[in-house]
């Protein structure tokens, strides 16, 4: 991971420590798919062994539960990712356990198996040992704000235009984002936002990730599948790119994920 990004995360942690006072600080790392959030957090944790880290991806709801949402609310909720497909109770309980952990504690962290599309079995959960000096949480939508009815009325892409013509799915996502997600985001003492140069580059980044995971060249069918998947995230991702989010430090990335600029953003009183 680029040293400039690690330095920006160091600065974000310092801001969080100041805000948290005597409490263990909680730091969010946000950014679109493929921007390097998890890589950055893992690199920081490797250099700071007392840093606990997890991802919002670790608390996705089980596939069976999402199928129930798809049946009762909207078919698009079967796909994990958007607000409404996370177990926020589990996230908050994990943060509470880490905040209360003592020197000899063992804290089981959530984890999600994207191959089986379900949370990992309890016997396979990672364990954080001891009292963390900082808690790092990465997630694509951390700090995102809700949209207005006028913004929701306009489809963001073909997926919304054809499969959410009545706006049911995106309105429900927005209600989730405006509701239970905001108190969860408010627990973050500081947020670092990795800003992509454009929404279009995110498809290329995601394809690079898939090629690495699959260890082969992607087919046209693979790329179409990825395009459809990314479309589920497009509305909120574009909203965040245009300023619809809270952040303390913004890291502007170029197409190769190198840092081109670091901005400190004054945050309103909390």
Residue 2: the pLDDT is 81
CA distance 262 to 264: 7
Per-residue pLDDT at 173 exceeds 90: yes
Alpha carbon distances (Å) from 213 to 96, 208, 209, 219, 263: 33, 9, 6, 14, 32
Checking if the pLDDT of 123 tops 60, the result is: yes
Q: Given the structure tokens 């694509």, which residue do they identify?
A: 140
- Res 269 pLDDT > 70: no
Q: What are the pLDDT digits (tens) for 25-62? A: 999 999 999 999 999 999 999 999 999 999 999 999 99
- With cut-offs at 50, 70 and 90, classify the pLDDT of residue 215: confident
Q: What's the average model confidence in pLDDT over 197-223?
A: 90
Q: Which two tokens stand for residue 142?
A: 């951390």
Q: What is the DSSP string of 107-170?
A: EEPP-EETTTTEEPPGGG--EEES--SEEEEEETTTTBPPPPHHHHTS-SSHHHHHH-TT-HHH
Q: Compare 115 and 77 and report the one with higher pLDDT.
A: 77
One DSSP character per residue, 44-113 reads HHHHSTTEEEEEGGGGBPPHHHHHHHHHHT-GGGGSS-STTSB-HHHHHHHHHHHHH--TT-EEEPP-EE
pLDDT of residue 236: 98
Please compute the mean of the pLDDT values over residues 221-231 and round it to a whole number.
94
CB 5 within 8 A of CB 107: no
- What integer is the mean pLDDT of 101-108? 95
pLDDT of residue 174: 98
pLDDT band for position 267 (50/70/90)? low
DSSP string across 206-248: HHHHHHHHHTSPPPHHHHHHHHHHHHTTHHHHHHHHTT-B--S
pLDDT for 181 beyond 90: yes
- Dist CA 170 CA 159 (whole Å): 11
User: Both tokens of residue 169?
Assistant: 């799915």
Q: Is the pLDDT of residue 1 over 60?
A: no
pLDDT of residue 112: 96
Mean pLDDT of the chain: 95
pLDDT at 13 over 80: yes
Is 135's pLDDT higher than 60? yes
Angstrom distance (rounded) from CA 262 to CA 80: 31
Q: Which residue bears the tokens 């420590």?
A: 17
Show Cβ contacts of residue 148 under 8 Å, excluding neighbours closer than 6 positions.
none
Residue 102: both structure tokens together: 């003592």
- Is the model's pLDDT at 268 over the cut of 70? no
| Residues 202 and 240 sit within 8 Å (Cβ to Cβ) | no
Query: What does the buried/exposed string (b/e) look like for 75-105 if buried means 16 or more CB atoms within 10 Å of the residue's CB?
Result: ebbebbbbbbbbbbeebeebbebbbebeeee
Mean pLDDT of 170-182: 98
* Domains in the chain: ranges and CATH: 3-253 (3.40.50.300)
């Amino acid at each position: 991971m680029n040293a400039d990004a690690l330095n920006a995360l160091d600065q974000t942690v310092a801001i969080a420590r100041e805000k948290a006072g005597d409490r263990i600080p909680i730091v969010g790392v946000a950014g679109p798919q493929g921007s390097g959030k998890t890589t950055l957090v893992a690199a920081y944790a490797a250099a700071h062994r007392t840093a606990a880290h997890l991802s919002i991806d670790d608390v996705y709801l089980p596939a069976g539960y999402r199928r129930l949402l798809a049946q009762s609310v909207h078919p698009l909720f079967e796909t994990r990712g958007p607000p409404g497909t996370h177990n926020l109770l589990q996230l908050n309980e994990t943060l509470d356990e880490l905040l209360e952990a003592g020197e000899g504690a063992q804290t089981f962290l959530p984890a999600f198996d994207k191959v089986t599309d379900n949370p990992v079995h309890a016997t396979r959960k990672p364990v954080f040992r001891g009292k963390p000096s900082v808690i790092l949480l990465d997630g694509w939508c951390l700090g995102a704000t809700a949209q207005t009815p006028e913004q929701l009325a306009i489809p963001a892409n073909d997926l919304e235009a054809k499969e959410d013509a009545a706006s049911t799915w995106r309105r429900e996502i927005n209600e989730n984002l405006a509701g239970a997600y905001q108190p969860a985001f408010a627990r973050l003492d500081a947020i670092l936002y990795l800003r992509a140069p454009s929404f279009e580059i995110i498809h290329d980044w995601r394809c690079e990730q898939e090629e690495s995971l699959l260890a082969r060249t992607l087919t046209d069918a693979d790329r179409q599948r990825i395009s459809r998947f990314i479309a589920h995230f497009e509305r909120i991702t574009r909203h965040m790119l245009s300023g619809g989010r809270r952040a303390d430090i913004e890291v502007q990335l170029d197409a190769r994920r190198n840092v081109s600029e670091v901005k400190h953003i004054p945050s309103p009183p909390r």
